[in-house]
Amino acid sequence: QVQLVESGGGLVQAGGSLSLSCAASGIAFRLYTIAWYRQAAGNQRELVAGISNLGSTNYADSVKGRFTISRDNAKNTMYLQMNSLKPEDTAVYYCNARYNINYWGQGTQVTVSS
């Protein structure tokens, strides 16, 4: 059974930091392209950051220089370090693992107060 379990969301003031984690099980994690998406209320889900199985990263323009995606294949875990948070970063954040099938976590709420 494949599971992606997120943790680390919460409430933070603008300018603060949060770190998200996503632990994967049931997949050959090292083969997967992984990513973080987010969905704010009333908006479509959008890509925040991604990292390929070879370690290449990409970021949404809105988070470049503030967020860092990383992976630890030995722990089957992906991370998203979020710094200099803004109220517009408020959303439910989802981890995603993609190889020939897409898998999603359950989502974790991040709320940034002004």
- The three-state DSSP-derived secondary structure of 14-47 is CCCCEEEEEEEECCCHHHCEEEEEEECCCCCCEE
Residue 100, pLDDT above cutoff 90: no
Q: pLDDT over 90 for what percent of the chain? A: 99
The whole-chain average pLDDT of the chain stands at 97
pLDDT grade, residue 1 (50/70/90)?
very high
**H or E segment at 81?**
strand 77-82
State mean pLDDT over 23-43: 97
Beta bridge partners, 94, equal 37
By CB neighbour count within 10 A (0-12 exposed, 13-18 middle, 19+ buried), where does 53 fall? middle
